[in-house]
Amino acid sequence: MNGRFLRVGETARAKVELTIDGATVEALAGDTLLTAMLCSVRHVRQSEFGAEKRAGFCLMGACQDCWVWTADGERLRACTTVVEAGMRVVTTQPEGQWANLAS
């Protein structure tokens, strides 16, 4: 994959594997999910309001631009979530995952 970020330092940390939209990528232990994603892919998600691609904005948890989901439907803020080995992330909101609308 061709990432938006290029890692130039801290390359000696242990490697961690996770999947993004079904593709296996490597991150480094201690990376945020946003860092891991942008080192591997060109964008974090598609805007829910149009066709635009989103790549995070503030990088510190304030702007709400980096929401992604686990394969199980849990919503994560990529800029404040630390990667874990085996994490399975999807960049498209799962259908029917509105807990407050369950009967």
Stated length of the chain = 103
Show me where the domains of the chain are located: 15-93
Q: pTM higher than 0.85 for the full model? A: no
The letter for the amino acid at 43 is: H
Give residues with Cβ within 8 angstroms of 43, minimum separation 6.
4, 53, 54, 55, 91
pLDDT at 103: 46
Q: Pairing relation of β-strands 67-70 and 88-90? A: antiparallel
Which pLDDT tens digit goes with each residue over 38-91? 888 766 776 666 667 666 667 677 777 788 889 888 999 988 999 999 999 998
How far apart CA 18 and CA 85 sit, in angstroms, is 6
Provide the CATH topology of domain 15-93.
Answer: Ubiquitin-like (UB roll) (3.10.20)
- Asked if residue 25 has pLDDT above 70, the reply is yes
